[in-house]
Structure 1
């Protein structure tokens, strides 16, 4: 990985500026792509833009910007988009005014000749980053990105840019995108913050058997040059469609669950949605269950580990321990209180509740063994 610092004058940055809805946003003689497909949708508000220009005219330093060097010698903006657009908007588009030295409503054309020269000759500190995709991603993860910090998925988008991520953003990363329209009730976060895209990439990587420390990175690297995300989108549709058909009544506890894992594990299981709903309704009313969201996986898996139950308090544990005289009723051995765990004598699955009379203290080994039996 090569990181080369350079100073770029604003007058050079402004050359060849283009802001076109179809063609994109470019500057630096058309060589700098200011808003590549992976960049975020939002931008500075007026006060933030004004602060950028005031900083420049006062000669104060702006935070470092990061440009990625492409194979063809062009550049893509990694960090600094908001500041760059503020500079270009002020100079080319007269998009906002500033206040300086108690002078108000100062557009670029209203500046003195000295101020104009100071603005145009101001030097921006830019790091030019050259290297493999992985090297760039590792670098961007550890640097302290200035301004609006890039999210982890935004960093990945920046490194694994290509037709795949461009198409993925169309489906998963825009306000009112298709993924939002289809599954907003079941997904956590918002598309514009890349949370929808990150979630489906987690699901898809696991579905394809991609393991390791960074499965999303591996998945994106494998599919970076794919012409579109048709396979990924169809997988998402299958998941959300299955959820809606399987669970006929929507509840707030359904939002943000790992539906990808449940789809992969149970979509081929023959279930009756009406019977599932009856079980879910009954379980939702059970005060013993603390983790209501776990009910959805439990009715498919019948695995008690998917649920979280009310626990015995310290008084109930101490009373049971003294009653047993410190002896585990399963193995018959004596233990200290801290070496034992509270257990339901009559299991919850058979109607047991979290009351003192239903509490027993088991040694850790016996409790684990008992727990594995039901």
Structure 2
């Protein structure tokens, strides 16, 4: 692999700069692909973007950028955020404060404009195989903002499948987070969180294997149809999605629930009745765990209220340290509090419903 250091003036970088959104962003006389398929969207804040322009104006050194040769053209590997910041400013897309007043590039004096256009960027140009360039990309990362795991995967498995998947799951406000789905999932489409979530659910955690197998597929229809099926099922099974419920539902692993329970015979009205009951039950400390409990029956998801230390000490004294199961005496630290009548049969976390069991008997009871 050959790597060469070049000096590129801003006037050269911004020549024929065009931003066509999802279609692509190009500069350097149309020869530089500023946003290749594996690159992130523009994520710099206004403060970071303005700092780039301030650095250029004061002739301070800007961090080195990295391009990869692609035939007669180039792909930008590292430095997209700084590159787009510069190109947008020269194109007049935003202003920065200069001497207390907002100034766009076109409002600068001629000598100030020329100073910016003459600024030289340090660019390493890499020429090698695709695998070498992608390995290099993983190493250098994105200066200033670390790549997420999914963004790194996108660098490795770039191809027609990824390009189509990003149409559904990435960009600004993609279809994947429309129609209320954004209320139920966490993360940013721009940072590839939604794409990662969809892949995690469909592949049951084997994201790399799935992307490798489908890298050259013409489209990502399977993933998009799966995503729609998951949320259609959620809407059918749990139709009450008002603002209070959404706070409990947001961020739950709906795809994993769908995978395990999509064929279960679930009655939405009965589930709603039980949700209301569980929300009102002060024994249930994890209200977000209600949905997992109703589907799996695992009480641990509810984080049921436990006996406090005062109650445990009082019951231990009442029993004189004797375990009621094996009738043997134990030290306090060798025993655990247990519900005489379990929660699912109406038992409450009260002193009258507490017994102290030795650890072996309590663990044996819990395992039944």
Interval containing the TM-score (normalised by the shorter chain): 0.7 to 0.9
Task: Look up the SS of the partner of 1:77 in the other structure.
Answer: strand
Asked if residue 337 in structure 1 is aligned to residue 323 in structure 2, the reply is no
1:245 counterpart residue number: 236
1:310 counterpart residue number: 305
For each residue in 1:349-370, what CA deviation from the matched residue of structure 2 results, as whole angstroms up to 9, or x when unmatched? Answer: 1111111222223333332321
For each residue in 1:153-177, what CA deviation from the matched residue of structure 2 results, as whole angstroms up to 9, or x when unmatched? Answer: 2333333222222222221223432
- Correspondences of 1:196-211 after superposition (within 5 Å): 196-206=194-204
Contact 1:137 1:156 in 2 (8 A): no
2:261 counterpart residue number: 266
For each residue in 1:322-353, what CA deviation from the matched residue of structure 2 results, as whole angstroms up to 9, or x when unmatched? Answer: 33333433344444433433221211011111
For each residue in 1:66-93, what CA deviation from the matched residue of structure 2 results, as whole angstroms up to 9, or x when unmatched? Answer: 44x47757543344222102222344x2
Q: Over aligned residue pairs, what C-alpha RMSD do you find?
A: 3.5
CA distance in 2: counterparts of 1:205 and 1:329, whole angstroms: 48
Query: Alignment partner for residue 354 of structure 2, among 350, 356, 359?
Result: 359
Note closer, same or farther for the CA distance 1:181–1:105 as it changes in structure 2 (3 Å cut): closer
- Correspondences of 1:1-374 after superposition (within 5 Å): 4=3, 6-10=5-9, 11-15=11-15, 17-21=17-21, 24-44=24-44, 48-67=48-67, 69=68, 72=71, 74-91=73-90, 93-96=91-94, 105=103, 107=105, 110-112=109-111, 116=114, 119-126=117-124, 128=126, 136=134, 140=138, 145-182=142-179, 183-206=181-204, 215-250=206-241, 251-252=245-246, 253-373=248-368
Contact 2:97 2:103 in 1 (8 A): yes
Alpha-carbon offset, residue 306 of structure 1: 2.8
Alpha-carbon offset, residue 222 of structure 1: 2.3
CA distance in 1: counterparts of 2:360 and 2:130, whole angstroms: 50
Task: Look up the SS of the partner of 2:239 in the other structure.
Answer: coil
CA distance in 1: counterparts of 2:133 and 2:325, whole angstroms: 56
Alpha-carbon offset, residue 285 of structure 1: 1.6
Note closer, same or farther for the CA distance 1:247–1:110 as it changes in structure 2 (3 Å cut): same
Note closer, same or farther for the CA distance 1:324–1:33 as it changes in structure 2 (3 Å cut): farther
Contact 2:239 2:268 in 1 (8 A): yes
User: TM-score if structure 1 supplies the norm length?
Assistant: 0.81
For each residue in 1:282-324, what CA deviation from the matched residue of structure 2 results, as whole angstroms up to 9, or x when unmatched? Answer: 2222110111222222222222233210011111222223333
Note closer, same or farther for the CA distance 1:329–1:31 as it changes in structure 2 (3 Å cut): farther
Stretch of structure 1 that moved more, 223-232 or 299-308:
299-308
Task: Look up the SS of the partner of 2:203 in the other structure.
Answer: helix
Contact 1:130 1:136 in 2 (8 A): no
CA distance in 1: counterparts of 2:101 and 2:174, whole angstroms: 44
